[in-house]
Structure 1
């Protein structure tokens, strides 16, 4: 026997996956995860028996519900479904899938649309952080078509602005959870940072690569991947995340100089393969490290005064422009806000079939 549940398949930024209202899924976490594994066709390298695309970027799920938190419209739980393991990880956030949450909430009638633009305040359950999504709603209806272009996606779409309000230290409690701007792990200087996503940032040159290699080239460098994973596991322990062998956080990131003083080149890992473009949350973290004196990324750019600054994060498919706000902190300038533009597309809406035994 199979059971049907509503499902909306969407592209969010450079990722893709099914969106569900929380009430469409089992309340029990173990049952819910079995449904998600079945929905995506995991574990299987091609995910041929589900909606997944055989890649971590297309094996993602967004679960949305009306929020009971003061000032928030919806709660968003992100789930990274492993392609080749029976594993559903809800520890990280995904900023690309996040870009579809506002349109989904409006289309579902959770948030009423206003003529012109509609602001949707989203509480990310994974990282306990709040994001404002500004969605185009001319005539009170979600508009997906537009002229905004993001690297890593063909064509254009309506711009969706994501403003990250309190994503600094949201998972570990500190922007720099080890208490240091740099740590040395196995002879390599790294920056452990929790800014929208827990990450371990390493200069590419420290691991013997240029930092502008393609994802295919980096994925083929087995020695590099083994070294990164070793560093990542120790970084996770030092960040208070425990044993991260079966977790996708912290994410390892290689950085190198960009084409000019306001650009940093990044290669973001998910964590065992190089991202074909870049995670939005990862771009926020890289930009934060880039403008913070003392990190391994800071010397790649130029020092900046207080105020708004546009940082370009170069990635394999192009770049992400991140607007960061620097304010005076207790002893130095600190990043207190960041925003960027994404697009989303509703691909299909219908009924998903899953084995009834999972319910």
Structure 2
């Protein structure tokens, strides 16, 4: 099967971009197309365009729309890593900028191509939220080149402002479906459902050392204990019916170990994330959104560790350190309540063309 396809980097993720109009009308065929395009059952994805980590095994389907409240619709799919799976329960915060770039470059909505800036309003069907991406234009296309820095991406780039309003309860209908602190076998945790459900535990409860580099950290035997805890909460939240269904539900919730800052001048809180059971080299953007909000709200594990105090009104930045550096997440606050969360992300078009899908 031959299909039009583009490959984009968004933030610290890479994904395949499809225009819904180019895909079969029968959506039941999509899963096999996406698995074949990624080559998800092969560790090195040599027969497709994926990779060996969750950040590279992503698919976005973008749809033109005439809705007056937003410009395009976007559906996200997480394809497995060495697993025959496709999951659309969650979404990807990193690829939001790439979706905006694709929509601009493909002229999927009406805008003034002579302008220097544009706002793309994206309705993400996975979480049923409108996301605004404000970005620069260069010759009528998404501006990739600039003099700004994004942690996890080499060189300089142009950063777009991604902002999500009124996020929370996208998958479970509640922001804190288990309360701000839950306890299982003596392990205290905060489960926050904002864009994607994230489970946060204190890394010290698992004897994890935040100072270790990625290679050293990835060898820690306690990571399997984190995966087992994630599995327990997956079933508890109803994302998997029982243990036999866990392989079909790897995308959400994700689990992260968080750490108290040892340098308050540099960062407010540290994070190490497991995604699709593997150690993430930075953090999914949704993990950063979740953690920034939890770090400001009294009663959460993240707030205990960060020791941050929320301002009454305005924008408050939360600085989160992952393996590749420190990221500032902007939290919008009104009358002591969080009403929005934002992050600066870059995107780059890697290729346009056709992909040839091998039957699987």
Q: Which moved more, 1:208-217 or 1:44-53?
A: 208-217
Report the alpha carbon displacement of residue 15 of structure 1 after superposing the two structures with TM: 0.8
Who is 1:134 aligned against? 134
Counterpart contact for 2:81–2:276, Cα < 8 Å: no
Selected match of 1:326 from 307, 328, 333? 333
Who is 2:163 aligned against? 163
Selected match of 1:282 from 268, 283, 287? 287
Selected match of 1:52 from 50, 54, 79? 50
1:110 counterpart SS class: coil
Kindly indicate whether residue 261 of structure 2 is the aligned counterpart of residue 260 of structure 1: no
Counterpart contact for 2:38–2:50, Cα < 8 Å: yes
Selected match of 1:28 from 18, 26, 29? 26
Counterpart contact for 1:128–1:171, Cα < 8 Å: no
Counterpart contact for 1:9–1:347, Cα < 8 Å: yes
Counterpart contact for 2:121–2:133, Cα < 8 Å: yes
CA-based RMSD: 1.8
1:65-92: CA deviation from partner (whole Å, max 9, x where unpaired)? 1235440111111111112111011111
Q: Distance in 2 between matches of 1:69 and 1:234?
A: 40
| TM-score, normalising length: structure 2 | 0.92
Kindly indicate whether residue 308 of structure 2 is the aligned counterpart of residue 305 of structure 1: no
Report the alpha carbon displacement of residue 147 of structure 1 after superposing the two structures with TM: 1.4
Report the alpha carbon displacement of residue 142 of structure 1 after superposing the two structures with TM: 2.4
Selected match of 1:335 from 334, 338, 345? 338
Report the alpha carbon displacement of residue 237 of structure 1 after superposing the two structures with TM: 3.2
Counterpart contact for 2:148–2:157, Cα < 8 Å: yes
Superposition pairs of residues 160-199 of structure 1, within 5 angstroms? 160-178=160-178, 180-199=179-198
Distance 1:219 1:27, change over 3 A: farther
Q: Distance in 2 between matches of 1:29 and 1:172?
A: 25
Selected match of 1:105 from 80, 84, 103? 103
Q: Distance in 2 between matches of 1:85 and 1:155?
A: 33
Counterpart contact for 1:40–1:50, Cα < 8 Å: yes
Superposition pairs of residues 68-79 of structure 1, within 5 angstroms? 69-79=67-77
Runs of 5+ consecutive residues of structure 1 not aligned to the other structure: none
Runs of 5+ consecutive residues of structure 2 not aligned to the other structure: none
| TM-score, normalising length: structure 1 | 0.92
Q: Which moved more, 1:3-12 or 1:110-119?
A: 110-119
Who is 1:154 aligned against? 154
Report the alpha carbon displacement of residue 279 of structure 1 after superposing the two structures with TM: 1.1
Counterpart contact for 1:287–1:322, Cα < 8 Å: yes
Q: Distance in 2 between matches of 1:27 and 1:190?
A: 42
Report the alpha carbon displacement of residue 213 of structure 1 after superposing the two structures with TM: 3.0
Report the alpha carbon displacement of residue 27 of structure 1 after superposing the two structures with TM: 2.9
| Paired residues, number | 349
